[in-house]
Amino acid sequence: MVQQPDSLSVSSRPPPKQRVWSWRSQAFRGTVYQIVALAVLLAAAAYLLHNTFANMRMRGIQSGFSFILQPAGFGIGESLLPFDSSNSYLYAYVVALSNTLRVALLGIVLATVLGTVIGIGRLSRNALVSTLCGAYVEITRNVPLLLQLFIWYFILTESLPPIEEAWQANGFFFSKNGLQFPLPVAELGAHLSTLGGTALGLVAAWWYARQARLRRESTGAMWPVWWPSVALVVGLTVLGWMAGGMHTEWDIPERTELNVVGGGSVTPEYLTVLLGLTIYTAGYIAEVVRAGIQSVPYGQHEAAASLGLSRAQELRLVLLPQALRVIIPPITSQYLNLTKNSSLAVAVGYPDLVSISSTSLNQTGRAIECIALVMACYLTMSLLTSAFMNFYNARARLKDR
């Protein structure tokens, strides 16, 4: 008779008894270190707070955020949102934030485009182009941004013609007073209809791309994706515009005796900050793009060619997905840097967050509150940007099985 092996018959030693507690255990020491660190920190904070309150009492500085709803009493040079001095400080901060975002978002887009072009240019086999792009990168990266901003500001405000003699082309006017440009006349219904068309086009393009992918995965047949998507977006936008009554009215700036009126306009301060940030950050982005492209081994190109992929397919299906994986994390930090660097706008007098905040600080004397507000705004922007880029990065990452 075969003895049934008893699954529990293997006598294992009982697990070593957990040592109950010791003065010399690592866990105990760790706890002590942490308690000491926290205690020292709290004591330091308490001391500094005590000093702060004593100083504030002595100098008669008021504290608290009660000022935030009082009228600001100062004007803001330029903004998308209407603002006058009777609006509250809170609203002034909102306007300032919108100004910061206005310059940072456009700067990110322009710097990405310019940086990508220059980064690819640096890898060109054309020695002229690659040398020029290399020089661009070295010059922009090795001179402080603040100095670059001062130089651009001087050029934009001193070397351009006065507004009476503004350079003119196709309804654009460029002078010491900034740039005036044509704007479509505001017509809410028509704009909404056009935008609705664009939105519809985006949804349709997404749906089409998904269908194409599903079909490719199930049958292997390749549908073109790029051109139909573009056609869908453009076509539906045009349809929406036509449905909205085909408004073609533009508000074109016109020259008068001493001025240029009408249309949209941006100040030289805005142009300076936008130009400076774009040119400076593009130098960094160019290096990121170059490193990303160089990180894809040459064998990938050869493999793609031997599979019979066209140059465009190779770029889209083989090279870009691999390069993007390397590019996205550093480019995210460049976007964050650009947003933070937009705070240098204060140096040329563009009313951004820091500039409005230091005006508020001078008027109310509440340094802690004003600086805390600015820091909170930038911190939120940083966290939101990195959250979005992390989400995008997770999609572009190598898919582990």
The smaller minimum CB distance to another protein, of residues 267 and 342, is found at: 342
The smaller minimum CB distance to another protein, of residues 194 and 281, is found at: 281
The smaller minimum CB distance to another protein, of residues 48 and 246, is found at: 48
The smaller minimum CB distance to another protein, of residues 70 and 131, is found at: 131
Given the rule CB under 8 A, which residues bind another protein? 30, 33-34, 37-38, 41, 48, 51-52, 54-56, 58, 124-129, 132, 138-139, 141-148, 150-151, 154-155, 158-159, 340-341, 343-344, 346-347, 354, 358, 361, 367-368, 371, 374-375, 378-379, 382-383
Closest CB 144 distance from another protein, rounded Å: 4
Closest CB 315 distance from another protein, rounded Å: 15
The smaller minimum CB distance to another protein, of residues 244 and 314, is found at: 314
Closest CB 48 distance from another protein, rounded Å: 5
Closest CB 347 distance from another protein, rounded Å: 6
Closest CB 140 distance from another protein, rounded Å: 10
269's tokens: 């301060």
Closest CB 52 distance from another protein, rounded Å: 5
Closest CB 370 distance from another protein, rounded Å: 8
Alpha carbon distance 347, 229 (integer Å): 44
The smaller minimum CB distance to another protein, of residues 100 and 194, is found at: 100
The smaller minimum CB distance to another protein, of residues 150 and 181, is found at: 150
